[in-house]
Amino acid sequence: MQFRHTQLLKAIAFAAEKHRHQRRKDPEASPYINHPIDLANVLVHEGRVHDTTVLMAAILHDTLEDTQTTPEELAALFGGEVCNIVMEVTDNKKLKKRKRKELQVKHGPHLTRKARLVKLADKICNLRDVASNPPTRWPIKRQIEYFDWAKSVIDSLRGTHPRLEALFDAVYEQRPHAERWTRHVKPEVRGPHRRH
Ligand SMILES: [Mn+2]
């Protein structure tokens, strides 16, 4: 087997082990590892990205942020470049959520190309998940906010990979409608005089 296959399988096994107790927020609480695997699938089959370093970083992209993994561990097992890409797409958890979200938009233009590819795949997968299986506790308003924030992150790094950007734009089209939220949550503001 070629070295790059060995490395990719090693990354998958490592991420599966690290995320083994975590679940996604969808109604079925899918195993977390499905998410990094989704990113790699989008990159290969839809983005036609075949760079093993990018695929490994996609598989490992949430290990620093959401598990006990350290950068030293990633560097030792998968090399400095993979480790750096994962670090680039990792939020600083010491900061408040609002600030972290703000920084993703601010840092977008400064990411390396490989980190941008991972970021694009991550946002494509997350929007697809919210569109098809919204997290159980997310009202429409929160879903809309998530869509809009993801779009500002992607807008900050456009010109990276037209095909992936088009896939993002396609899923953004599925943004839930504020009207639905208005209808369900705030029936008192309904009425023809409020329609624009
Ligand atoms: Mn992710």
pLDDT one-digit tens code per residue, 99-113 = 999 999 999 999 999
| 147 CA from centroid of ligand 1 (Å) | 14
Q: pTM of the prediction?
A: 0.90
Instruction: Express as a percent the part of the chain with pLDDT over 70.
Output: 90
**Contact between residue 156 and residue 108 where contact means Cβ atoms under 8 Å apart:** yes
List alpha helices for the chain, DSSP H. 3-18, 34-41, 52-60, 63-66, 71-78, 80-88, 97-107, 113-132, 140-155, 162-172, 178-185
What's the CATH number where 78 sits? 1.10.3210.10
| 130 CA from centroid of ligand 1 (Å) | 13
Average pLDDT, the chain: 92
What pLDDT shows up at residue 22? 96
Of 129, 110, 118, residue with least CA distance to 62: 118
What pLDDT shows up at residue 181? 55
Q: What confidence tens digit (pLDDT) does each residue in 8-36 have? A: 999 999 999 999 999 999 989 999 999 99
| 26 CA from centroid of ligand 1 (Å) | 14
| Distance in angstroms (rounded) separating the CA atoms of residues 100 and 106 | 10
Number of domains into which the chain is organized: 1
Provide the residue range defining the domain that includes 70.
3-194
| 177 CA from centroid of ligand 1 (Å) | 24
Active site residues: 65-66
